[in-house]
Chain A
């Protein structure tokens, strides 16, 4: 089955600790995205990548970092600089052929991150 796999499902972070959330897709999609969702809120874009070895900041990139070394993988690191990291993190992908693509996004099941 093709899809997006996020792991872990639940993650706890200690003060001052960096943690990395995994996102893998086997849909052969070019574009991948990371969103943050707070309780009762919409989705806010953290980072996105349209192609391997390239990524761009979204609306709330401070305190986060990403890499895109492989087409299938787009891990997100929540650094200690992110002072309020407790949230639901969603990874998504889309075929994204060209800059004017209107392709829908496919989401993973998400990772819930909490502070210890």
Chain B
């Protein structure tokens, strides 16, 4: 089936270090959404990218959509303990017929050591 792969599965950093998670697909994506799930919590929407090569920033977070629209990245500068959680990418893909549904990536768990 259609899949969106994320790497790494897990990353442990010291507070203040940078962090990047990557999202890859074998097919062209119509869009990329990023979600954050805190431990024990539910996914929360962060941002959506739709244009080839698009870059968006939210404070210390930088989101990028590849030129070929087959990959995306989320970069966190100078991590803080509040950044702990699992980061998921997701994309709207055709789910049979005319229906497009959101397919989630496998997620990257970020641990930040104070």
Residues of A within 8 A of B (CB): 33, 35, 40-43, 45, 48, 50, 56, 58-59, 90, 94, 99-102, 104-110
Contact = CB atoms under 8 A, between A and B. Distances in A.
Contacts of B92: 100-102
B11 interface: no
A105 B42 contact: no
A43 B43 contact: yes
Interface string B14-53: 0000000000000000110100000001111100101000
Nearest to A90: B42
Nearest to A94: B102
A74 to B, nearest CB: 15
Interface residues of B, number: 23
Given A50-B99, A99-B99, A99-B100, A42 B107 contact: yes
Nearest to B107: A42
A106 B99 contact: no
B56 interface: no
Listed from nearest, the 3 A-B pairs whose CB atoms lie closest are A104-B45, A107-B42, A43-B104
A23 to B, nearest CB: 12
A42 B1 contact: no
A20 to B, nearest CB: 20
B58 to A, nearest CB: 14
B88 interface: yes
Contacts of B45: 104-106
B80 interface: no
18 contacts: A43-B88, A48-B101, A50-B99, A56-B99, A90-B42, A94-B102, A99-B100, A102-B30, A102-B31, A102-B48, A102-B50, A102-B92, A104-B45, A105-B45, A107-B43, A107-B44, A109-B42, A110-B42
Contacts of B88: 42-43
B109 interface: yes
